Amino acid sequence: MDVSGKTVLLTGATGGLGQAIARAFARRGARLVLTGRRTEVLEPLAAQLGARTIAVDLAVPAEVDRLIAEAGDVDVLIANAALPASGRIERFTVEEIDRALAVNLRAPIVLARAYAPAMAQRGGGHIVLMSSLSGKAAMAGGSLYSATKFGLRGFGLALREDWRDRGVGVSVVSPGFIRDAGMFHDAGATLPPGVGTRSPEDVAEATLRAVERNRGEVEVAPPQLRLGALASQVVPELAARVARRMGAGKVAGELAEGQRDKR
């Protein structure tokens, strides 16, 4: 798909990754509809990019419905919004669990349900679901977050098969640890030596390529992390032992502490 002149709905536009994605698509000439909760970030970004804004809280089902109604026809949906959900499950309230499931999993599914048929009727479109390497490799202290990202990845891969013959592409983008902006950066966690990162701009460019080339799945991470994610799917117990020895538990604890106020 050539995104120039296409209407792109981007959720989670106020976060660091969302801002990078918005700028990448704006440079390609896309017409942006940006959503997020923080209007003090959303409005200046929209002014810079000539975008339209719809402030919503995706944890509220009625707000998701309002977004669909107000956004109008959409050629590309980028479901990027997500809540941090690191930490042991017993340290979450039921309300926090419900909120993470609503934002990270329910909202993208409902949005895809609304837009895929309309895209097909107009002759084509594309849906991007922002998953994570945590949707391939589970780690200590990430049970809830991995549940949402495993679920989103599975939904996206199956959805791609459902719509492949009707002109609607579906891509799953899976970042690893991202520096300078985003959940990992904001938490202030320290990685073990040798564990690399990627930038928000890398995620933005990967998302753009996924749409332009109709890529089914894209990982945004250094080779060693991509290999680790593959090992977690093939030999999960061995991969978990290696992760423990590399200090995954320490990273998980730092992530949980740094993200506690953003649940």
| Residues identified as active-site | 145
Alpha-carbon span 122 to 167, nearest angstrom: 9
Indicate the residue type of 207.
Answer: T
Q: DSSP letter for 261, please.
A: G
Alpha-carbon span 18 to 79, nearest angstrom: 10
What are the residue ranges of helices labelled H in 165-213? 183-187, 200-213
Tracing tokens 């296409």 back to the chain, one arrives at 6
Alpha-carbon span 174 to 149, nearest angstrom: 9
Helix, strand, or coil (residue 245): helix
Alpha-carbon span 65 to 68, nearest angstrom: 5
β strands within the chain, DSSP E: 7-10, 31-36, 52-55, 76-79, 125-130, 168-175, 217-220
Alpha-carbon span 81 to 165, nearest angstrom: 28
